[in-house]
């Protein structure tokens, strides 16, 4: 037991859980309305499985779009797989949750940014938050606004 609560790790798990829950729902019911997702991930992650020609095009990071056509979305404990169409060439990708750097739904200006957990084994409590919640304004991103709780307190 440590003498500090690891809030950043707890937030990371909660936001990752939100993303997983969303994708599970989409796998069962499809995308509602104009919702669509942009998911960026590190293609160098050992668990990422993509075709060699895709890896050659995106040696470090790739962003996929889940919108009009996707198939076989399978959400699992450590990763998800999805078949996407690359110029009339369907390819299945396997993307581990820990490889994802951003998750954005531009239709409602919602986004999550997952910070890298580098050296997490050496430190019990990260020096900076591992996740940042942002509102996005495609294609420009907005900074989060800090709101004082004093204005909501009863006097």
* Domain limits, the chain: 7-141
Give residue 150's pLDDT: 52
What pLDDT is stored for residue 145 in this prediction?
47
What distance in Å separates the CA atoms of residue 31 and residue 12, rounded to the nearest whole number? 24
Residue predicted with more confidence, 2 or 84: 84
Burial of 40 (0-12, 13-18, 19+ CB in 10 A): middle
86 to 41, 53, 120, 138, 154: CA distances (angstroms): 17, 11, 35, 23, 56
Per CATH, which fold does 7-141 belong to?
SH3 type barrels. (2.30.30)
* Mean pLDDT, the chain, whole residue set: 80
């Amino acid at each position: 037991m440590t003498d500090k609560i690891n809030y950043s790790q707890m937030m990371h798990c909660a936001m990752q859980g939100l993303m997983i829950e969303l994708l599970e729902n989409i796998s069962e019911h499809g995308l509602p309305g104009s919702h669509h997702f942009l998911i960026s991930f590190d293609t160098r992650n050992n668990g990422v499985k993509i075709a060699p020609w895709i890896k050659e095009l995106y040696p470090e990071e790739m962003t996929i779009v889940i919108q009009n056509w996707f198939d076989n979305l399978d959400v699992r404990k450590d990763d998800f797989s999805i078949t996407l169409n690359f110029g009339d060439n369907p390819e299945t990708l396997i993307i581990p949750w820990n490889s994802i750097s951003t998750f954005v739904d531009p239709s409602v200006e919602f986004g999550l940014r997952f910070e890298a957990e580098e050296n997490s084994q050496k430190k019990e409590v990260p020096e900076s938050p591992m996740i940042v919640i942002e509102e996005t304004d495609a294609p420009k991103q907005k900074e989060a606004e800090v709101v004082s709780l004093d204005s909501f307190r009863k006097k």
